A and B are shown apart, each in its own frame.
Chain A
Amino acid sequence: MKSVKRRTIVAITSLVVLALVAAACGGSSSSGSNANGSGAAKGGTIREELQEFGWTSGFDPTGEYLGTAWALYDQMLMRGLMTYNHRDAAAGGDTPVPDIATGPPTVSEDGMTYEFELKTGVMFGPPVDREVTSKDIAYSFQRINTASLSALYGNYYCGVITGMTCDAEKVDTAIEGIDTPDATHITFHLDAPVGDFLYRLTMPATKAIPEEVAKCFTKAGDYGPYLISSSAYMFMGSEDLDISSCDTMKPISGYDVQKGMTLVRNPNYDPASDSTEIREANIDGLQQAINTNYDDIFQRLLDGEIDVAAGTPPKGVLLKFETDPTYAGWLHADPGDRTWYATMNLFAAPFDDVHVRKAVNLAFNKEGVRKAYGGEKRGQIATSVEPPAVLSLSESINPYSANTGAGNLDAAMEEMKQSRYDLDKNGVCDDGGACDDILFLGRNVDPWPEMDQVALASLQPILPGLTLKEVDTSTGYTTLQQMKKLVPISLVPGWGKDYGSPYGFDYYIFHSDGIYSCTGASNYSLVGLTKDFADECGIGAEYDAYVQNNGEVPSVDAKMEECVGKPASQIDQCFAELDTYVMETAVPWVPWIWANNWTSVNPTVNQYVFDQFAGTMSYINSAVDNGLAPENVA
């Protein structure tokens, strides 16, 4: 919609950089030891089954936006300048650490230039079999900059790094703001300083990509089945890829989106170029097989035929995990840095009245919905938009404290009485035109129908006109993304961070840049919508009505630009102010849970580690004791 503006700042990321020094100075250690002192044995193969991969861009790192894909890239397959330690938040899993970079960058005083030195000995896997250089990093940015490759989070770089616009026609277009004076040095020149730039350099799209292979794939998603490893593992069968020309390349045999993937050790990986703090690389292989029968996946887990199953276990299995001592410790619930929420559209009556939105926040039965979702292990009741692991101050933001979780109908009715849609001031929305037949969009996939019912039951006393319609998850999201649909309220969406800094959570969901097009908004509530864009998308009348009744449309754009330009030490406080504004003034959401991710593991997994960044099990730092060699499941 429009390019990102960055305000000038004086102080920048020095604190983050200093914090990274310690991690970098930890240096490499041999692969035979475990930095966490767990003493986990090497070997074995983690066997996981899932219903589908669900990639958003064919597993091409430039455009892929799925967390499980990010886990595989960052832990197993790809290395970039920065990464995470692939552990939980308590162990620093949300803090960027150098990966291919020898250490923290040298940052200019004005915060506009970042210079990195690269390690030597980091090798691409077969069949490329050469050292990773600064040009491979620069090439990944050229891919981000190429329109046809559809880098989904390109806004983190375009408009930030000089010369990057994300609309280049050809992938070999050099970027003005990236210098590669030699194979081991790379410099980024920014248009404006950005306090969380290092976080952005952890993203999978910025990892090293070999041009000699990737140049053959100029459409979004095509590179996925040919992905060349630069990390500890690779697709099984990578060595058989014939890269003598683009025509001779056939998808690598260890990956088939319909069947699964098998990762094996990359023979070119030199543990000395890495750190066991970051990658223990205990397992010999990872098998992820597709099994469309969800019940069967968990039955196979119980039977010991697989080692890992992600997601919500069937209720019968869950009951065993919760009540049968035999299964104690099988289910892991880890903070997923994800908020589930009900979204309310600022331009759809009666939610175009802030009192109605506040009343909904007060009435919403968060406890009940969480119970229908699976109970306390599902996560923490949310009081604000960002999960605490992303913004530690989130727990202190609680403007609707009158709702302690189960909903407070009295408080909600008092709030509703202030609404123009409560004509007789009895605490109930009763303005016929706006209050009858209000669409409440829910999911029809388990366990959401029951959650929808609980939410609806808590809101109907103040909004009796709510009418539940349920659709599948995909339809739910695409419906919300279409501005003209003006979905008044929906329990469909959830939102997870892109990276562990508040900007990486808030940007696409509250900034007006999150309204990309008339049919592609991730800012479903339309916070910060402009008149021009409203007209363009056919909701000009609703925009005018909003302004007439409420004044200015709430926007967080300016505050967000201010926050992201702050020094790292001040970013959190600034975003806490921003989130408070969101919760008290804009009120686009009812955040109801800061969700946990569930992973069920068989006792064969004798060391379970959670990766906070990816929100999945850390395959790279976990260990399995099944003595199995990897088999090709693709």
Chain B
Amino acid sequence: MSQLQSAEPEVQTLAPLDGDIRRVEGRTPWQLFWIRFKRDHVAMGAGVVVCLLVFVAVVAPLFVTLFVHRGPNALDQNLTSDIGIPILGPSKTAWFGVDGIGRDVFVRTMYGARTSLMVSFIGTGLSLVIGIVLGLLSGFRGGKIDTFISRTIDIVLSLPLLLMAIGLSVACGASIAGCSGVWIMPVLLGIVALSALGLGLQSTRRVPAMLVAAISLVLAVVLLGSGTGPRIKTGVPMVIFIIALFGWPYVARIVRGQTLSLREREFVEAARATGFGPWYIMLREIFPNMLASIIVVTTLLIPQNILFEAALSYLSVGIPPDTPSWGGMINDATEGSLYFVAWWMLVFPAGFLVITTLSFNLLGDGLRDALDPRAGR
């Protein structure tokens, strides 16, 4: 009070706290995200589990070489009964027991993590690339391009995914070479042509875009006519292909919606007024602003794709039997209801499958909350 009464108030500096000058610093969105995310212990725990699983997947061969000394396909039929029923459950010899032909369930479970994560990561990555490109194009360009892409999304989403996957696997499964994918490259080139066309129509620099579109179209027609193209092989490549083929519409639909919203925002208008072209605006202005949504979608797509891979393997149309996968192991356990007498064949792969998908889902939820706290649950 005495200070207020003084005629010339004295400007005081705050006493430094612990001897340092305290400043109020601005925080980047990512810093804010991290602060919020750290408070979500469930999501953090899920993140740790995911990291552990990735670690297990990466070090599985090394671990087997150093400690277990048995590969995932090493057979020991002495560990099964005369009628092919495993007689060795979880023990010091085999931590998770053995299966019907004496393979080590622990080793196969570790290798199964590799398969599941590899397939889902790569498949999801491809889905993201295709979905982001088409979603951005559709939302930003609008008009006929948007209509075309949106209807394509609707069509792909309406396809019976599992049946198509089984059909493709069966059709391409009975040979080493797989089946002909002569249509793959033309379709991809068609997408490139469509993208270039869409951007070219909106850009002031139409000639290069049109040129790209024309070249892509010509190449597509030539490839289609020549009947040459990549082969679709069963196994890991096939599952990844199917995931990418049917997963992109989910991404594209979200990206399109976000683009439709963002393209009307002031900073996009400003960029446009400044004279930046559509490529720049999409990649430098719109895309970074939807990154949070994409990350969340990714963490939800990964467990979905892990389950899809497991389902295909369970149906014996996914990963080949000499490549350990959790779905395939669960299938082995259900052979002749073997799990009634060898519960370990079912419990461990199924348990890892549940833990993995649950962890990714919880992580996804946590990321969504931290990246977009207004969304709520």
- Interface residue from A315, A453, A467, A469 paired with B341 (Cβ < 8 Å): A315
Beyond A453-B75, A454-B77, whether A371 also contacts B82 by CB under 8 A is yes
B75 closest partner in A (C-beta): A457
- Whether a CB of chain A sits under 8 angstroms from the CB of B340 is yes
B101 CB to closest chain A CB (Å) equals: 5
A315 vs B337: C-alpha distance in the bound complex, in angstroms?
Answer: 6
B62 CB to closest chain A CB (Å) equals: 23
A402 vs B73: C-alpha distance in the bound complex, in angstroms?
Answer: 26
B80 contacts across to A, CB distance below 8 A: 371
- Whether a CB of chain A sits under 8 angstroms from the CB of B11 is no
Q: Which of B77, B84, B170, B340 has the most CB of A within 10 A?
A: B84
Interface size band for A: 35 or more
A531 vs B100: C-alpha distance in the bound complex, in angstroms?
Answer: 45
**A457 contacts B73, C-beta separation under 8 Å:** yes
- Whether a CB of chain B sits under 8 angstroms from the CB of A368 is yes
- Whether a CB of chain B sits under 8 angstroms from the CB of A129 is no
**B340 contacts A316, C-beta separation under 8 Å:** yes
**B176 contacts A447, C-beta separation under 8 Å:** no
- Whether a CB of chain B sits under 8 angstroms from the CB of A375 is yes
Q: Bits for A451-481, please: 1 = Cβ < 8 Å to B, else 0.
A: 0111011000000000111111001100100
- Interface residue from B73, B82, B85, B234 paired with A376 (Cβ < 8 Å): B82
**B83 contacts A469, C-beta separation under 8 Å:** no
**B335 contacts A374, C-beta separation under 8 Å:** no
Q: Bits for A514-549, please: 1 = Cβ < 8 Å to B, else 0.
A: 000000000000000000000000000000000000
**A375 contacts B174, C-beta separation under 8 Å:** no
- Whether a CB of chain B sits under 8 angstroms from the CB of A328 is no
- Interface residue from A317, A439, A452 paired with B175 (Cβ < 8 Å): A439
**A469 contacts B75, C-beta separation under 8 Å:** no
A469 vs B173: C-alpha distance in the bound complex, in angstroms?
Answer: 7
A467 vs B176: C-alpha distance in the bound complex, in angstroms?
Answer: 8
- Whether a CB of chain B sits under 8 angstroms from the CB of A449 is yes
Beyond A444-B316, A450-B101, whether A315 also contacts B175 by CB under 8 A is no
A453 contacts across to B, CB distance below 8 A: 73, 75, 101, 321-322
B332 contacts across to A, CB distance below 8 A: 449-450
- Whether a CB of chain B sits under 8 angstroms from the CB of A241 is no
- Whether a CB of chain A sits under 8 angstroms from the CB of B376 is no
**B84 contacts A476, C-beta separation under 8 Å:** no
B322 contacts across to A, CB distance below 8 A: 453, 456, 468
B331 contacts across to A, CB distance below 8 A: 449
B99 contacts across to A, CB distance below 8 A: 450
Question: Which residues 302-359 of B have a CB within 8 angstroms of A?
Answer: 316-317, 320-322, 331-332, 335-338, 340-341
Beyond A312-B336, A318-B336, whether A375 also contacts B170 by CB under 8 A is no
**A377 contacts B83, C-beta separation under 8 Å:** yes
**A449 contacts B316, C-beta separation under 8 Å:** yes
**A371 contacts B84, C-beta separation under 8 Å:** yes
**B85 contacts A319, C-beta separation under 8 Å:** yes
- Whether a CB of chain B sits under 8 angstroms from the CB of A372 is yes
Q: Bits for A472-498, please: 1 = Cβ < 8 Å to B, else 0.
A: 100110010000010100000000000
B75 CB to closest chain A CB (Å) equals: 5
- Whether a CB of chain B sits under 8 angstroms from the CB of A169 is no
- Interface residue from A372, A449, A475 paired with B321 (Cβ < 8 Å): A449
A470 vs B235: C-alpha distance in the bound complex, in angstroms?
Answer: 10
**A472 contacts B170, C-beta separation under 8 Å:** yes
Q: Bits for A295-328, please: 1 = Cβ < 8 Å to B, else 0.
A: 1000000000000000011111111001000000
**B83 contacts A318, C-beta separation under 8 Å:** yes
A476 closest partner in B (C-beta): B174
**B73 contacts A373, C-beta separation under 8 Å:** no
A372 contacts across to B, CB distance below 8 A: 77, 84, 100-101
A465 closest partner in B (C-beta): B176
Beyond A316-B336, A375-B82, A377-B83, whether A475 also contacts B100 by CB under 8 A is no
Question: Which residues 51-81 of B have a CB within 8 angstroms of A?
Answer: 73, 75, 77, 80-81
Beyond A295-B337, A444-B316, whether A470 also contacts B170 by CB under 8 A is no
A375 contacts across to B, CB distance below 8 A: 81-84
A298 closest partner in B (C-beta): B337
A446 vs B99: C-alpha distance in the bound complex, in angstroms?
Answer: 14
**A479 contacts B174, C-beta separation under 8 Å:** yes
**A368 contacts B77, C-beta separation under 8 Å:** yes
A168 CB to closest chain B CB (Å) equals: 36
Question: Which residues 137-180 of B have a CB within 8 angstroms of A?
Answer: 170, 173-176
A29 vs B227: C-alpha distance in the bound complex, in angstroms?
Answer: 72
B320 closest partner in A (C-beta): A468
Q: Which of A314, A373, A487 has the most CB of B within 10 A?
A: A314
- Whether a CB of chain B sits under 8 angstroms from the CB of A110 is no
B173 closest partner in A (C-beta): A471
A125 vs B77: C-alpha distance in the bound complex, in angstroms?
Answer: 54
- Interface residue from B75, B82, B340 paired with A315 (Cβ < 8 Å): B340
A449 vs B338: C-alpha distance in the bound complex, in angstroms?
Answer: 14
B337 closest partner in A (C-beta): A314
A203 contacts across to B, CB distance below 8 A: none
**B175 contacts A485, C-beta separation under 8 Å:** yes
A600 vs B175: C-alpha distance in the bound complex, in angstroms?
Answer: 37
A316 contacts across to B, CB distance below 8 A: 336-338, 340-341
A436 CB to closest chain B CB (Å) equals: 9
- Interface residue from B83, B84, B176 paired with A450 (Cβ < 8 Å): B84
A519 vs B322: C-alpha distance in the bound complex, in angstroms?
Answer: 30
A446 contacts across to B, CB distance below 8 A: 335-336
- Whether a CB of chain B sits under 8 angstroms from the CB of A437 is yes
B335 contacts across to A, CB distance below 8 A: 315, 446-447, 449-450
**B85 contacts A468, C-beta separation under 8 Å:** no
A318 closest partner in B (C-beta): B83
A447 vs B331: C-alpha distance in the bound complex, in angstroms?
Answer: 11
- Interface residue from B85, B170, B336 paired with A471 (Cβ < 8 Å): B170
A83 vs B332: C-alpha distance in the bound complex, in angstroms?
Answer: 43
**B316 contacts A437, C-beta separation under 8 Å:** no
Question: Which residues 412-430 of A have a CB within 8 angstroms of B?
Answer: none
A191 vs B339: C-alpha distance in the bound complex, in angstroms?
Answer: 59
Q: Which of B234, B322, B336 has the most CB of A within 10 A?
A: B336
- Whether a CB of chain B sits under 8 angstroms from the CB of A587 is no
Question: Which residues 356-403 of A have a CB within 8 angstroms of B?
Answer: 368, 371-377
Beyond A315-B85, A450-B100, whether A441 also contacts B321 by CB under 8 A is no
Beyond A447-B84, A450-B332, A453-B73, whether A315 also contacts B176 by CB under 8 A is no
B361 CB to closest chain A CB (Å) equals: 30
A492 closest partner in B (C-beta): B174
Q: Which residues of B contact A (CB under 8 A)?
A: 73, 75, 77, 80-85, 99-101, 170, 173-176, 234, 316-317, 320-322, 331-332, 335-338, 340-341
Q: Which residues of A contact B (CB under 8 A)?
A: 295, 312-319, 322, 368, 371-377, 437-439, 441, 444-447, 449-450, 452-454, 456-457, 467-472, 475-476, 479, 485, 487
Give me the 10 closest cross-chain CB pairs, A-B, nearest first. Answer: A444-B316, A316-B340, A315-B336, A446-B335, A314-B337, A375-B83, A314-B336, A479-B174, A315-B338, A375-B82
Would you list 6 pairs from A and B whose C-beta atoms are within 8 A, ordered by A residue? A312-B336, A316-B338, A368-B101, A372-B101, A449-B321, A475-B173
Supplied contacts A371-B77, A467-B176, 16 more A-B pairs, CB within 8 Å: A313-B336, A315-B337, A315-B338, A315-B341, A322-B83, A371-B83, A375-B81, A375-B84, A439-B175, A449-B335, A454-B77, A454-B101, A469-B174, A471-B174, A472-B170, A479-B174
